[in-house]
Amino acid sequence: MRRFRDCVRGGSVLLGTFIKTASHQIPEIIGAAGLDFAIIDAEHAPFDLPTLDRMVMAGRGASLPCLVRVPELTPASIGQVLDLGAAGVVVPHIASTEAATRALGATKYAGGRRGFSPSTRAGGYGTIDPVTYRQTADHESSVWCQIEDEAALSHLNAIAAIDQLDCMFLGRADLALSLGVDSQRDPKVVAAVAATAEAGRRHGRTVGIFIGDTGEIPDLLGLGITVFVCGSDQSFMLAESRRIRKDLSAALDDAKSNAGSV
């Protein structure tokens, strides 16, 4: 858990997934499966603070770093999930250096803007020396800024140059909408992905991306992208349910065919 941010910043190839189901067993299962991290999606799924509390705790118990994608860039929502012990935050719709700086200010104690309490889970419920806790929290809390707006494309190099930013995380679905195109495969989106990856390489900034299929990983690695969020707990369940339904249908068809040939 303590090495997670270092792995992100150091360019380790990492594989995770979104969690969209409000159940603390999900982080335990994903941790047992051996994924590197998970993102609890509080932007697009129904998570209240007590549920996030249980899920972050379950992730810590399973040695699974859990980030939280917060609904919006507000210091209260960011500070609360970090107090719970989340490994970091994914902040949506970062389209400027000013927004990225605000996200960092809400995450790090060093700037003097994040509210401080050592009595939280992250602070060891008051058992950690306050100065040590603040320094450790600033070192370990990972900040990911989502690149998912056309406006961000004019500021990629400036965003990538922000040292405390850990990952520029590409959201191609929203990016396609912002660019006015229907497909994530549209040349405009492909060019935006390549430009983000290039900015990351130029400034030594890690770039991540959501994928629906691990078959994309080799080409994306070639661009220098090293963090992959593949699907979600919901998509895994849907895919496996469809597979076993298809298997049963095929078995029934075979049985009918064999019966007809007797």
Above 90 in pLDDT, residue 89? yes
pLDDT at residue 258, rounded to an integer: 86
Q: Taking residues 156-180, report their average pLDDT.
A: 97
Share of the chain above pLDDT 90, in %: 95
Quick: pLDDT tens for 33-48: 999 999 999 999 999 9
Provide the residue range defining the domain that includes 64.
4-233
Above 80 in pLDDT, residue 50? yes
pLDDT at residue 1, rounded to an integer: 61
pLDDT at residue 260, rounded to an integer: 74
pLDDT at residue 13, rounded to an integer: 98
261 lies in some domain: no
Above 60 in pLDDT, residue 134? yes
Pick from 152, 85, 92: nearest CA to 119:
85
Above 80 in pLDDT, residue 180? yes
Q: Identify whether the C-beta of residue 70 lies closer than 8 Å to the C-beta of residue 91.
A: yes
Distance of CA 149 to the CA centre of its chain: 17
pLDDT at residue 257, rounded to an integer: 86
pLDDT at residue 131, rounded to an integer: 96
239 lies in some domain: no
Instruction: Read off the pLDDT band of 231 (50, 70, 90).
Output: very high
pLDDT at residue 209, rounded to an integer: 98
Above 60 in pLDDT, residue 136? yes
Q: Identify whether the C-beta of residue 20 lies closer than 8 Å to the C-beta of residue 233.
A: yes
44 lies in some domain: yes
48 lies in some domain: yes
Above 70 in pLDDT, residue 149? yes
141 lies in some domain: yes
39 lies in some domain: yes
123 lies in some domain: yes
Instruction: Read off the pLDDT band of 210 (50, 70, 90).
Output: very high
- Mean pLDDT, the chain, as a whole number? 96
Q: Identify whether the C-beta of residue 75 lies closer than 8 Å to the C-beta of residue 114.
A: yes
Alpha helices in 108-225 (DSSP H): 130-140, 156-160, 172-179, 187-203, 217-223
pLDDT at residue 262, rounded to an integer: 57
Tally of domains within the chain:
1
Share of the chain above pLDDT 70, in %: 98
The token duo for 195 is 């430009």
**Which CATH number do you get for residue 67?**
3.20.20.60
248 lies in some domain: no
* Measured distance CA(156)–CA(15) in Å, rounded: 24
